[in-house]
A and B are shown apart, each in its own frame.
Chain A
Amino acid sequence: MIVSRGFRGRRRDGPPDRVPPGQYLTDDFPVLSAGPTPHTPLDEWTFTIHGVDEPKGWTWEELQALPRETVTVDIHCVTRWSKLDTVWEGVSVDRLLEEVEHDAAYALAFCDGGYTTNLPVEDLTGGKAWVAYSYGGEPLDPEHGGPARLLVPHLYFWKSAKWVRGLTLRDEDEPGFWETNGYHLRGDPWLEQRYWGD
Chain B
Amino acid sequence: MSNHLENQVRTCDTTGLPVCLTAQKFIKLNGVFAVIFLLIGAIAAVLLALTRWPAVHLLDAQWYYRILTAHGMNMLIFWILFIEVAILYFACTTLLNSRLFSKKIAWVSFVMMLVGAVMVNVIVFIGKADVLMTSYIPLLAHPVFYLGIILVAVGTLIGVYNFFATVYIAKRDKTYDGSVPLVVFGAIAAAIIAVVTLLHGAVVMIPTFTWSMGWTAQPDPGWYRLIWWGLGHQSQQVNVCAMVSVWYLLASLTTGAKPLNQAVCRSAFVLYILFINLASAHHLLVDPGVGAGWKIWNTSYAMYLAVLASMIHGFTVPASVEIAQRAKGYVRGLFGWLTNAPWKNPGFSAFFLSLVIFGFIGGITGVTLGTQQINILAHNTLRIPGHFHATVVGGTSLAFMGLIYYVVPLIFQREFYARSLAIIQPYIFGIGIVMLSFGMSFAGSAGVPRRHWDVEFTGANLAAGFDSGTHLWLGVMGIGGVLAFIGLLTFILLTVAAVFFGKSNKGRAMTPWATPKTLVTEGDVDATEDHRSPGTMTLVIILLVTFVVYYFANWLALTDVWHVR
The reply to whether chain A is a binding partner of chain B is no
Residues on B lying within 8 angstroms of A by beta carbon are: none
A: residues with CB less than 8 A from B are none
